[in-house]
Amino acid sequence: MNKLNHIAFVMDGNGRWGKKKGKSRNFGHLKGVETVKKIVRASIKLKIPIITFYVFSSENWKRPKNERSYLFKLIKNYFLKEINSIIKQGIKLNILGELNKFSLDLKSILKKSINVTKKNKKIIVNLAINYGSKKEIFQAFKKSKKNLTIKNFEKNLYTKNMHNPDILIRTGGYQRLSNFLLWQMAYTELFFLKKLWPDFKANDLSKVIKKYKKIKRNYGNI
């Protein structure tokens, strides 16, 4: 049976879900946050050590300003309202990505949230915010080129000292990686679901894990 250390999520379909319900794309993003909370709780129950959510890509800056502003407000309010619950649940928060483009107050809240949860050990929750895998790889190469080995290179990735994802779950129907953890997912099992992210349930997570446990993972062997 395959060991499970890390699940990565591409939370696609929030905006489409909102429009499908006759409301705004932002309403879909709001509901998507509720799904994140449920999946974190389910992951804790399932004793998954690490989960990573693709929150905001470096390409998402192309989205309309009002949608970006709403997303940043959601992130800010989530940490302001939920930080005590996050601490009680034993969640260690980590950010993958560059925070320099965000407002001072959002950067401050994110850094504070990381600091106050750094000793928690029940689960690591990575939030990929303003993240792009190509740039991550390029920067890691620049930092390690004087002594370029795979080991030194991986020390300069955001995910240093972490297991690479065993599973990628992408909701929303599209079958692509979208510049997400390209180096880290060399041997990841990929699961693409038609469900939009707000409709994704803990039971769907359990079904994917059940399928994963039955896969023969060869890593080039037979």
Catalytic residues: 12, 60
Count CB atoms within 10 A of the CB of residue 215: 11
Q: CB burial class (10 A; 0-12, 13-18, 19+) of residue 202?
A: middle
CA distance 198 to 85: 21
